[in-house]
């Protein structure tokens, strides 16, 4: 019982170190501190989608009205094109739920300065 609860807790919060090992998959288009083909990731948790100043988003992302809560980001990472049809993040997604939670945990804890 306790073991199950701990597992659920781990899944809920994620492992930032494990997420850091997954983050290089994003490196064709993203960086933490600066915009590239995709927008910067620093400060993404709590940010309104399509709101990094100076970054040219797709109309679909600008219209999405999403705020990047952990849950929304995890949902988007599971299926970017299905979650925001028309996004330029034309990537099939991260299919493993634990990897997604870990990746979000890394992004939430990333040191950006």
Q: Which of 6, 8, 37, 97 binds another protein (CB under 8 A)?
A: 37
Q: How many CA atoms lie within 13 A of 103 on its CB side?
A: 23
**Per-residue binding letters, 46-65, with another protein (x by CB under 8 A):** ------------x-------
Does residue number 25 form part of the binding site for another protein (CB under 8 A)?
Answer: yes
Give dist(CA 21, CA 19) in Å, integer.
Answer: 5
Give dist(CA 90, CA 7) in Å, integer.
Answer: 32
* Residue 30 C-beta: closest distance to another protein, Å: 8
Does residue number 97 form part of the binding site for another protein (CB under 8 A)?
Answer: no
Q: Whose Cβ is closer to another protein: residue 27's or residue 53's?
A: 27
Q: What are the residue ranges of helices labelled H in 1-113?
A: 2-13, 16-22, 59-63, 70-78, 80-83, 97-109
* Residue 37 C-beta: closest distance to another protein, Å: 4
- Map tokens 């100043």 to a residue: 53
Residue count, binding to another protein (CB under 8 A): 21
- Residues forming contacts to another protein in the complex (CB under 8 A) are 24-31, 34-37, 58, 81, 86, 88-93
């Amino acid at each position: 019982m306790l073991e199950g609860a701990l597992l659920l807790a781990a899944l809920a919060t994620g492992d930032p170190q494990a997420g850091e090992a997954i983050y290089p998959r994003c490196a064709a288009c993203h960086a933490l501190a600066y915009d590239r083909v995709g927008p910067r990731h620093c400060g993404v948790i709590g940010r309104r989608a399509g709101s990094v100043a100076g970054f040219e988003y797709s109309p679909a992302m600008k219209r999405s009205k999403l705020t990047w809560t952990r849950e929304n980001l995890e949902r988007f990472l599971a299926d970017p094109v299905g979650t925001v049809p028309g996004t330029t993040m034309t990537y099939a997604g991260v299919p493993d739920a634990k990897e997604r939670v870990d990746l979000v945990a890394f992004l939430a804890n990333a040191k950006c300065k």
